Amino acid sequence: MSDRPCSTAPDRAFAWAALLLGGLGTALYRITPVFDPDAFWHLHTGRFIVATHTVPSIDRFSHTAAGRRWDFVDWLADVILYAAHCLDGLRGLIVLTAFLGGLGVAITVHRMLRRAPSAVVLALTPLVMGVGVFRVTPRPQTFTFALFSATLLLLDRPGGAWFVPPLLVLWQNLHSSAPLGLLALIAHAIGCAFTARRARTPLDLRGTLAPVALGALALFVAVHPVDRLRAGFGHMVDPALMALITEWQPMYRMPAGTPVNLALEALVALAIIAVAHRPTRERLDATAVLVALGTTVLAVRAMRFVPLAAIAVAPVSVLGLVALESREPRRRLLVAFLSVAFGIIAIVRQPKAFGVGLLPGMFPEGAARWVHEHHPRGHLFNDFTDGGYLMFTLGDAHPVFSDGRSWALYDPAFLRDALQPDPARLARIIPGYDIGLAVVNTDARLDWFQSRAGWSLVYFDDRAFVALRDDLNLHLARSSYRVLRPSHWSDDLPRWSADPALAAAAWEESSRAITEAPNASLPWVLRAAAAAAVGLPAEADAAARRALALRPDGIPAHRAVLQRCAAHDDRVCSCRHATWVLSRAPQNLFARGLSERFGCLR
């Protein structure tokens, strides 16, 4: 890395602009409602540690793995996340997350400024942000982005390697990815050896190897240090589970043209240009190249490492951008324009709602509230993605069936069945757990429970269904939905219309469903069907319109409106909604039948 000349006023302005854009811009972009299910099992763990003053080493939060060894506990990060939540609820949690994400990008921009002109860094900053904002969520992994950036910043400075081991002590207690810091120290030692050999100067063995040894020892300064190392170094991923859990899927399995993929590929391409271009290659240090190469391999292996790759690659990529410039103003402007435009596209194509709280429709809020208020008996069955939220909201009263701790706790064969939405797998995993309560989020899984004798549907909304085993919950089963079947209302409508008693029961149950979940679309869909069955077309039309207003992107709501259009023999309206449904659910028999009836496909 060459010395930089004294900064001019424009240089300083560009530098501050890059730092503010990278740090503050990333932070503001991450002020978004919580959408990561894993955030809540981390919050629950933090709450447990604060309440008991102990760090769990066995599972205490599920009933399927209760008492089983659990090594993957990021205790300090969980406590800090829970403290932020205690201070200001979800807003405090989101602000902390945004700060960590912004800090990681800001440090990276600072490292870029030490290598290239400020104007070039400013042009590349949006591209770094486009990758850096990926996977910044309220969980311990987000601490890693800031810590990894800080580690690389220390390694950039003469003698900075001596300050990395103390940082690793903090890192190892925050997240099990601290071995990445040790690997960076090893890369630094190799880089120093390479530099010394190239310069034909003696290698300072003490200054290169001692920090590595201290860094290795630092990994043992932690609660349950052996467990932490086992989690950090030996966290193997079952290939079948990788296909089901997004963050562990290889980057190349992401859809072609994904903004994050394209942005990282652009950064890697610029880094290759920097290494290949002789004048800029002379300004590169071997440590930066080795760390960039290693983290890129990790990102290709699992997309959860993509932001770390951006943090490591960007200081090399910026020299590639320098190499593409020339003294020709037109070329320089074109390169800067393309960099900025590409970065902005990468950011804009990752749309995030601005605000705090929960992302609407992401979590089973209504179902959790119903369970909390009614205290049903029996062990809980839940979908994998809902486990963390139910764990945090229901607490010890209802230990979960499975959650985002995944293979760090649960048996892989069990977890594969729990992850798959195929209801046939339920027959393999439910017997033996004395399930008395189910919170599920798919029609197929609801159908499995409703088709079993002795089970009753007691609550539903757009996000989740609650079913109970009657023999354990007689007092609650008496007020269950016996006539309404949320996923089969179009099949049931002719039967209701032919039987006044069934129609009246459907009308009564739809009224109760609306009372329990007035802002959900699905109860209004069933209300429209029940109103049609009892001969109230105006009520049916109004209920269908209400359902569509509550959830314009909901297939059931469009099907309800489609049914009312067909009842009025309105071909234009019927074709419009049938086409909409079939574009999202091509196998929907209800929409296909009406589409053929009105000749919409001709």
The 3-state secondary structure of 467-487 reads EEEHHHCHHHHCCCECCCCCC
The amino acid sitting at 592 is R
Angstrom CA distances, 173 to 42, 44, 144, 145, 176, stand at: 14, 17, 11, 15, 7
Per-residue pLDDT, 332: 62
Poorest-confidence range of 286-290, 342-346, 442-446, 454-458? 342-346
How sure is the predictor about 254, in pLDDT bands with cuts at 50, 70 and 90? low
The neighbour count for residue 131, using CB atoms within 10 Å, is 31
96-130 tens-digit pLDDT: 999 999 999 999 999 999 988 888 898 889 888 88
Per-residue pLDDT, 233: 60
Per-residue pLDDT, 326: 62
Chain mean position to CA 208: 38
Label residue 454 left, alpha or beta by phi (over 0 means left) and psi (-120 to 50 means alpha).
Answer: left
Over residues 381-388, the mean pLDDT reads: 94
Burial class from Cβ neighbours inside 10 Å (0-12, 13-18, 19+) for residue 373 reads exposed
Q: What is the dihedral of CA 509, 510, 516, 521, to 10 degrees?
A: 150
Strand partners, 465: 440, 460
Per-residue pLDDT, 479: 86
How sure is the predictor about 2, in pLDDT bands with cuts at 50, 70 and 90? very low
State the chain's mean pLDDT as an integer.
88
Over residues 271-285, the mean pLDDT reads: 83
299-345 tens-digit pLDDT: 888 788 889 999 999 999 999 888 887 656 666 666 667 667 766 77
Distance CA 69, CA 57 (A): 6
Domain boundaries, the chain: 71-160+225-348, 365-477, 489-597
483-542 tens-digit pLDDT: 999 989 989 999 999 999 999 999 999 999 999 999 999 999 999 999 999 999 999 999
Over residues 69-74, the mean pLDDT reads: 83
Does the structure show a pLDDT above 50 at 419?
yes
Q: Name the pTM for this structure.
A: 0.90
Does the structure show a pLDDT above 50 at 1?
no
Opening angle at CA 56, ends 53 and 58, nearest 5 = 155
**Which single residue is written with the structure tokens 């324009």?**
337
Chain mean position to CA 374: 30
End-to-end CA distance of the chain: 67
Does the structure show a pLDDT above 50 at 546?
yes
How sure is the predictor about 203, in pLDDT bands with cuts at 50, 70 and 90? confident
Does the structure show a pLDDT above 80 at 8?
no
Does the structure show a pLDDT above 90 at 416?
no
The amino acid sitting at 502 is L
Angstrom CA distances, 53 to 45, 46, 50, 56, 405, stand at: 11, 10, 5, 10, 21
Query: Helix or strand or coil: residue 381?
Result: strand
Does the structure show a pLDDT above 50 at 162?
yes
Opening angle at CA 409, ends 386 and 443, nearest 5 = 30
Does the structure show a pLDDT above 60 at 578?
yes
**Which single residue is written with the structure tokens 């010890």?**
396
The amino acid sitting at 197 is R
- Dihedral (CA of 324, 329, 334, 336) sign: positive
The answer as to CATH 1.25.40.10 being correct for domain 489-597 is yes
How sure is the predictor about 457, in pLDDT bands with cuts at 50, 70 and 90? very high
What are 539's two structure tokens? 């009520």
Please spell the DSSP secondary structure of 166-180, one letter per residue.
Answer: HHHHHHHHH-TTTHH
Over residues 157-172, the mean pLDDT reads: 94
Most trustworthy range by pLDDT among 65-74, 273-282, 301-310, 517-526:
517-526
Over residues 416-431, the mean pLDDT reads: 80
Per-residue pLDDT, 9: 66
Over residues 570-591, the mean pLDDT reads: 91
Poorest-confidence range of 17-21, 188-192, 232-236, 326-330? 232-236
Does the structure show a pLDDT above 80 at 464?
yes
Does the structure show a pLDDT above 90 at 66?
yes
Poorest-confidence range of 131-135, 138-142, 334-338? 334-338
Does the structure show a pLDDT above 90 at 84?
yes
How sure is the predictor about 5, in pLDDT bands with cuts at 50, 70 and 90? very low
